[in-house]
Amino acid sequence: MRILHVLNHTQRLNGHVHAAVDLACAQAAQGHEVFVASGGGDFDGLLHEKGIKTFTVDHNRKVLNLLKAEVRLLQALRKSRAEVVHAHMMTSAVLAFPISKLIGVPLITTVHNEFEKSATLMGLGKRVIAVSDVVAASMRRRGVAASKLAVVLNGTIGSARSEGRSEVPAALHKPSIVFVGGLHPRKGLPDLLQAVDILYQSSPNFHLYIVGDGPFRQDYELMASQLKCAPAVTFIGPAKDPYPYMLGADIFVLPSHADPAPLVLSEAREAACAVVGTKVDGIPQLLEQGEAGILVPPKDPNALAQTLQQLIETPDQIELWKQRSQYRIDYLTIDRVARDTMQVYLSALSRQTAATTANRDQPNTTG
């Protein structure tokens, strides 16, 4: 199948970009002809390496620029002869909708950030992919027909981004607690800082490592410096590859207030961390409803501190939850994501076209 992905850019440190790049590379590896139209960025080199052609379509939201973007996207669609267009963010969906109608190619959209009001516009797709069950339910409440919706849970294991990464665990003070994520309020880092401050009163031997960057980094660093637990907290800053920190971690914590289906949980489970996450949005689904990680209430530093204390003071429990992180781990592979996504594509095509495409894409097993 010929597939054209449309997204704002291909810069690192953005979850929906990582998910789209992972999917595009997996589809190319499965034998599909894949194209990406975006404003460009860090991952273009990887896309080219995997045989994916890129088109530059600037998504800047100025009227004149958007008109130019429409023309460029139309040219990309014609040059690629794509059979489906897959948009990953609101601006991409709005740009792709009229062009896909004009050419007669189905538009697929993926809702990565349903907490944004603009996510309703992702309903423009002929099929709408939700990255978790909670996201699908939210889109139904916004008026998107259930018949258009399909859930494809995020997964990262085996992604092209992980090729060649270091498998050497970072040297961390034990027992270690690691957070990886953007430093903004939605990720709930102040709750984690308050929780470890409580924990520090009775169990001061742990160390918390905060990996990531964002607009609130200085605020959070100031907050941490004023807490009693300050000696036990280290801000690592942005890391091109945070995986070694997960490999070195005893406990991985994601204290989010809102998180549709965070890729970092797939990575933390792959690294065999004992995982603690808040019971919001797609986190329970990614942790198998508590079978593969401990779920705590959001915005509750006391409950989080109690959970961390139980783990820190009972090393056997850390080992148990490291083992439990591997429960159904195969479901989090990018190959599964690509296969499930292909079924959504086929459902959007006419019955005759879908049958022709499916037969054409079958591997040749004759000698």
9-54 pLDDT, tens per residue?
Answer: 999 878 899 999 999 999 999 999 999 999 999 999 999 999 999 9
Spatial distance between the Cα atoms of 305 and 106, rounded to a whole number of angstroms = 48
Q: Band of the pLDDT at 240, cuts 50, 70, 90?
A: confident
- 281 lies in some domain: yes
- 160 lies in some domain: no
Which of 295 and 365 is assigned the larger pLDDT? Answer: 295
- 325 with 222, same domain: the answer is yes
Token pair listed for 91: 């601006």
- 66 lies in some domain: yes
Percent of the chain with pLDDT over 70: 95
- 180 with 301, same domain: the answer is yes
- 288 with 355, same domain: the answer is no
- 344 with 238, same domain: the answer is no
Percent of the chain with pLDDT over 90: 90
- 109 with 188, same domain: the answer is no
Q: Band of the pLDDT at 117, cuts 50, 70, 90?
A: confident
- The answer on pLDDT for 71 being more than 60 is yes
- 151 with 267, same domain: the answer is no
Q: Which residue from 344, 343, 338, 342 is spatially nearest to 23, judged by alpha carbons?
A: 338
- 229 with 170, same domain: the answer is yes
- 300 with 196, same domain: the answer is yes
- 77 lies in some domain: yes
- 170 with 286, same domain: the answer is yes
Give me the number of domains the chain comprises. Answer: 2
> Looking at 117-126, 212-221, 296-305, which range is the least confident one?
117-126
- Taking only the tens place, the pLDDT of each residue in 139-196 is 999 999 999 999 999 999 999 999 999 999 999 999 999 999 999 999 999 999 999 9
- 197 with 325, same domain: the answer is yes
Q: Band of the pLDDT at 363, cuts 50, 70, 90?
A: low
Range of the domain at 68: 2-155+333-361
Which pLDDT belongs to residue 362?
A: 63
Residue pair 106/93 in contact (Cβ under 8 Å)? The answer is no
- 257 lies in some domain: yes
Arithmetic mean of pLDDT, 119-138: 95
- 366 lies in some domain: no
- 171 with 257, same domain: the answer is yes
Spatial distance between the Cα atoms of 363 and 155, rounded to a whole number of angstroms = 24
Residue pair 191/255 in contact (Cβ under 8 Å)? The answer is yes
Token pair listed for 199: 């924990």
- The answer on pLDDT for 58 being more than 90 is yes
Give the phi and the psi of residue 24 in degrees, each rounded to 5: -60, -45
- 145 lies in some domain: yes
- 183 with 295, same domain: the answer is yes
Alpha carbon 236 to chain centroid, angstroms? 21
- Taking only the tens place, the pLDDT of each residue in 245-273 is 999 999 999 999 999 999 999 999 999 99
Arithmetic mean of pLDDT, 111-136: 92
Arithmetic mean of pLDDT, 105-109: 98
- 314 lies in some domain: yes
Arithmetic mean of pLDDT, 57-65: 91
Mean pLDDT in the chain?
94
Which pLDDT belongs to residue 24?
A: 98
- The answer on pLDDT for 367 being more than 70 is no
CATH number at residue 191: 3.40.50.2000
What DSSP string runs through 176-211? EEEEES-SSGGG-HHHHHHHHHHHHHH-TT-EEEEE
Spatial distance between the Cα atoms of 52 and 45, rounded to a whole number of angstroms = 10
Arithmetic mean of pLDDT, 279-307: 98
- The answer on pLDDT for 357 being more than 70 is no
